[in-house]
Amino acid sequence: MRNRAMALVFISMLSVSLFASCVQAQGKVFPPAPDFELRDTYQDTYVLSSYKNKQPVLLFFWTTWCPFCRSELRVLNNMYATLQKDGVELLSINVGEPQSKVEDYVKNYYLAYHVLLDRDAGVSRSYEVAGVPTYVFIDKEGYVLFHDNFFPQKEYKDLIGK
């Protein structure tokens, strides 16, 4: 009985701690973005927390075999200059595929933005990616403001604060 009571206290404290780390805006609760460190196809390392308090980040989770992903990758390639102009960093995250396959794809389709490799899909799991494509918009304070399977076209200007 004592162990159960202690477990309930621990769970309550954990819940309060998690809720306290969230922010509220316009009646919604936004969780902090899980930090990660991934390498891109050139072996450069990207750490999400290095963007905190500097600029918002748009994460795009995808695979080469997904037809919707391929379509969205082309759209993002065309939008990349606008995203940069708006101060948004785009990090395209391939989920669980071999580096050579992703490199071949990037070379064939010339993707202008960073393509990171989530080899074991650990980052994808931490962002609760249930399917691809998935977009996650993180504000410059490091909170997840948007998480869905489509680009936040209607919400975009609000998300970047313009």
Residue 96: Cβ within 10 Å count: 13
Q: Is the model's pLDDT at 62 over the cut of 50?
A: yes
Q: Is the model's pLDDT at 82 over the cut of 70?
A: yes
Residue 71 pLDDT: 96
Summarize pLDDT for 105-127 with one digit per residue, the tens. Answer: 999 998 999 999 999 999 999 99
Confirm if 53 and 140 have CB atoms less than 8 A apart. Answer: yes
Residue 7 pLDDT: 35
Confidence of residue 161 (pLDDT cuts 50, 70, 90): confident
Q: Is the model's pLDDT at 93 over the cut of 80?
A: yes
Q: What is the arithmetic mean of pLDDT over 127-145? A: 97
Residue 57 pLDDT: 98
Distance (Å, whole) CA 160 – CA 138: 9
Residue 4 pLDDT: 43
This prediction has a pTM of: 0.84
Give strand ranges (E) for the chain: 23-25, 28-30, 37-40, 45-47, 57-62, 89-95, 114-118, 134-138, 144-148
Residue 85 pLDDT: 97
Confirm if 11 and 124 have CB atoms less than 8 A apart. Answer: no
Complete domains list, the chain, with CATH: 23-160 (3.40.30.10)
Q: What is the arithmetic mean of pLDDT over 3-30? A: 46
- Residue 31, Cβ density class (10 Å: 0-12 exposed, 13-18 middle, ≥19 buried): middle
